[in-house]
Amino acid sequence: MIHLDFQVATDEVDEADLPTYEQCLEWVDAALLEDWGMGETELTIRLVDQDEIQQLNRDYRGKDKPTNVLSFPFENPPGLVDLGEELPYLGDLVISAAVVEAEAAEQNKPILAHWAHMIVHGCLHLQGMDHLDDDEANEMEALEIEILNGLGFDSPYEKA
């Protein structure tokens, strides 16, 4: 079971262009790999203004500019792990609604498809995947395409 804390902390875009709680839950469920897809899982998705994501991007990644999605994987406190207990918390996704909207328009993609991609992409990061080199990027992109196709969306990497 997925426990999703869904936070809307932006007024920069039309509310009709934001995904619903139910849509986010479906996309998260599709993106959970085997280890996380079993049992209980908790995560937060926070939709924010550009100022908030720029500050987080600057503070945590050293990049003083807005970005589309930031992933903050949760690390269980060593004391709990030592006791044989682990919290089922996957982590936090912070997504800039205005950046997602602008990217979808620039790339001529349906806004909903781009939202699904950002959530799937972020969830894969929370589970340890990355795209720092070509092999990792190819693996992650192939998995994103597979997941998004399963959700009824086209590949996010093909030009529209």
Q: Which residue has the tokens 């997602």?
A: 100
For range 63-73, the mean pLDDT: 97
Task: Say which CATH number the domain at 23 has.
Answer: 3.40.390.30
State the residue range of the domain holding 132.
2-150
3 among annotated binding-site residues: no
Among 69, 11, 14, 12, which Cα is nearest to 45's? Answer: 69
In a domain, 115, yes or no: yes
- pLDDT, residue 76, reads 74
Would the pLDDT of 20 be above 60?
A: yes
Number of domains in the chain: 1
pTM, two decimals, is 0.91
DSSP string computed for 68-127: SEEEEE----HHHHHTT----EEEEEEEEHHHHHHHHHHTT--HHHHHHHHHHHHHHHHT
Q: What is the pLDDT of residue 88?
A: 80
The number of residues in the chain equals 160
**Residue 51, in any domain of the structure:** yes
Q: Is residue 157 part of a domain?
A: no
Which band of pLDDT confidence, cut at 50, 70 and 90, is reported for residue 3?
very high
Question: Does 114 belong to an annotated binding site?
Answer: no
Question: What order of strands is seen across the sheet that includes strand 89-96?
Answer: 2-9, 41-48, 89-96, 69-73
